[in-house]
Amino acid sequence: MLSENYKKRIQELAGLLIEGNEDKLRSFGINNDISKYLTNIDEKLSIFLANILISEYAKKEDIDVTNIKDTINLIDQGDFLDFIEDNKEKLNYIIEWIKSPFRVGEINLKDIADLSQAFSMAEEWHKSIQDTGIIKDESGDIIKTYPKEGFYWIDLKTNYSEDEANAMGHCGKDSRATTLISLRDAKKVPHVTIAYNEDNKAVTQVKGRKNQRPLPQYMKYVYDFLKEMIENGKLKEFQWSFGKDLDENEIQYVFEGNLEVYIDGVLKQNLNSNIKYKAPSVSKEEIINVVGKEKYAEYVKGLLQKNIENPNFGLTMRQSEIVDAVGNEEFGKYINNLLDVAIQNVNVRIPFSKSEILKYADEEKYNKYISSMLSMVLENPTKNKISLNKDEMYSLLGQEKYREFINELLKKIVTVSNSERTLKYLLNKHDIKFDLNRVQQIVGNKIWFFFLKRSVSSEQSNIGAGRID
């Protein structure tokens, strides 16, 4: 049951904590992938998260944020999704602060401008928590003991504990976990808190005092406990909530002797990912030695299908790696399917040269892909960008047609820009290095005059809490 204090904190969020936010986010122009991703992090806070993330992204890209709705339509949402993924741990940290049942004082989420401000406020709160080292009333199940040293691990049977929070000087809560497991000494003083999700058999945090890494003298207990969990089939992966508490070498060490469990988790992580492909830290040879060639081939086929279905996945495997795993025929099907998708979606990146592609696809289809990409970019240069680099474009189109395309693209970009900062952002997005004087010469005085006329700041707005009707 939620405490009355916790219920009060939830109610404090004044209209921002509402359900059904995925549809609302889409109505403001945020695409399906981002809407789903934000609501999966925390549905009730997803609009607040969208606001602070868009503001932070605009600051990073030096976009003039006069209206966040306009900014949504301006930014490359694939790049924005990568930005969200890069900051996911910060978001979890902020959410733990906002929703902590132990927080004192009110928060007006409408007054938080961006991710940096929210993170600073969360960090200040986390640092303010005092560690008493004292457990007033121990409860839970002791699950492993070290009689000689007097240490033991206790399952607290809850994912938030005020006693653990006060004793350890951290928030004592992890919404991604189902329970907290505490390492304590003979005097019942805690030294390490592990957050664990029993449903997906994942550890989400391994924290010492004040949210820091556990002290070296306690790591032997951490390694021993995690190894035993793996051997008993209770731990299959790490899904860090905030900060990578164990490095890759330590993770591989605790899986030592159970490498197949670790590799299985690595492969599933990519196949289940809704965002970016992450190359495994173990070699292809190590994976094949554990799972076999047949299972590895199925894994690669799954990655190819995922890359076709999700243009943001960004598979980085080389052609030779793919062919070696699945064969030429399967790779040829992949190339042709990828071309079909790319003809409809300009944001699909085909990371192979023309000569490599034409070994498996006919030139007519390839030319259709190039033609479709160019026309979609010219139709909407704020939403779409060229997926080829300058040299590839120059080689494909030739000098004259390349110059014609760039000149037309510049006119479109200037026409949709409402400030110098927006213009510079779009030029950079399309990898155009001209200075503004050169841009003015190319687009002409009439288009430039109306651009200058539009370059007037409008009233700042937001996407939540009644700021947009």
pLDDT band with cut points at 50, 70 and 90 for residue 458: very low
Mean pLDDT of 140-152: 94
pLDDT at 15 over 70: no
CA dist., res. 6 & res. 12, Å (int): 10
Q: What is the pLDDT of residue 196?
A: 96
Q: What percent of the chain has pLDDT over 90?
A: 43
Both 311 and 395 in a single domain? no
Structural domain harbouring 202:
141-257
Which two three-digit tokens encode residue 41? Answer: 């992090």
* pLDDT reading at 461 higher than 70: no
Mean pLDDT of the 164-186 span: 90
In a shared domain, residues 340 and 440:
no
Please determine, for residue 237, whether its predicted confidence score (pLDDT) is greater than 90: no
Q: Which residues of 308-331 are buried (b: 16+ CB within 10 A; e: fewer)?
A: bebbbbebebebeebbbbbeeebb
Query: CA nearest 169: which of 140, 206, 128, 138?
Result: 128
Say if residue 1's pLDDT is above 50: no
Task: List the single range of 226-230, 299-303, 460-464 with lowest mean pLDDT.
Answer: 460-464
Answer whether residue 383 is part of any domain. no
User: In Å, what is the CA distance from 370 to each residue of 112, 347, 375?
Assistant: 44, 12, 9
Q: Is residue 353 part of a domain?
A: yes
Residue 38 and residue 111 in one domain:
yes
Give the DSSP per-residue string, 4-35: HHHHHHHHTTTTS--S-HHHHHHHTT--HHHH
Coil, helix or strand at residue 280: coil
Same structural domain, 358 and 407? no
201 and 293 housed in the same domain:
no
Is 134 part of a structural domain of the chain? no
Please report which confidence band the pLDDT of residue 85 belongs to, taking 50, 70 and 90 as the band edges.
Answer: confident
For the chain, first and last CA: distance in Å? 36
Res 203: pLDDT: 94
What's the total number of domains in the chain? 4
Domain-terminating residue out of 333, 357, 378: 378
Residue 410 forms part of a structural domain: yes
Confidence of residue 456 (pLDDT cuts 50, 70, 90): low
Euclidean distance between CA atoms 33 and 35, whole angstroms:
6
pLDDT tens column, 392-403:
888 888 889 999
Beta strands in 147-219 (DSSP E): 151-155, 179-184, 190-197, 202-207
Check residue 143 and give its pLDDT.
Answer: 95
As a whole number, the mean pLDDT across the chain is 85
Tens of pLDDT, residue by residue over 344-386, are: 888 787 888 888 899 999 999 999 999 999 999 999 898 888 8
Q: Is residue 464 part of a domain?
A: no
CATH assignment at residue 146: 3.40.630
Is residue 414 included in any domain, yes or no?
yes
* Residue 178 pLDDT: 95
User: Of 256, 301, 303, 302, which is closest to residue 282 (Cα–Cα)?
Assistant: 256
Do 12 and 122 have their domain in common? yes
Q: How far apart are CA 94 and CA 97, in angstroms?
A: 5
Asked if 286 and 373 sit in the same domain, the reply is yes
End position of a domain, from candidates 128, 151, 173: 128
The pLDDT of residue 423 is above 70: yes
Per-position DSSP letters for 168-181, written without gaps between them: HTS--B-TT-SEEE
- Model confidence at 7: pLDDT above 70: no
Q: Are residues 371 and 331 in the same domain?
A: yes
Among 102, 128, 154, the domain-final residue is: 128
Instruction: Give the burial string for 236-268 (b: 16+ CB within 10 Å, else e).
Output: bbbebbbeebbeeebbeebbeebeebbbbbbbe
Residue 136 belongs to some domain of the structure: no
Whether 293 and 230 share a structural domain = no
pLDDT band of residue 65 (cuts 50, 70, 90) is low
Do 145 and 187 belong together in one domain? Answer: yes
In whole angstroms, how far apart are CA 284 and each of 272, 281, 287? 19, 9, 5
Does one domain contain both 223 and 297? no
Same domain flag for 226 and 290:
no
Give the global pTM: 0.74
Residues 420-442, mean pLDDT to the nearest whole number: 91
Instruction: Tell me, yes or no, whether 462 lies in a domain.
Output: no
Work out the average pLDDT over 75-101.
86
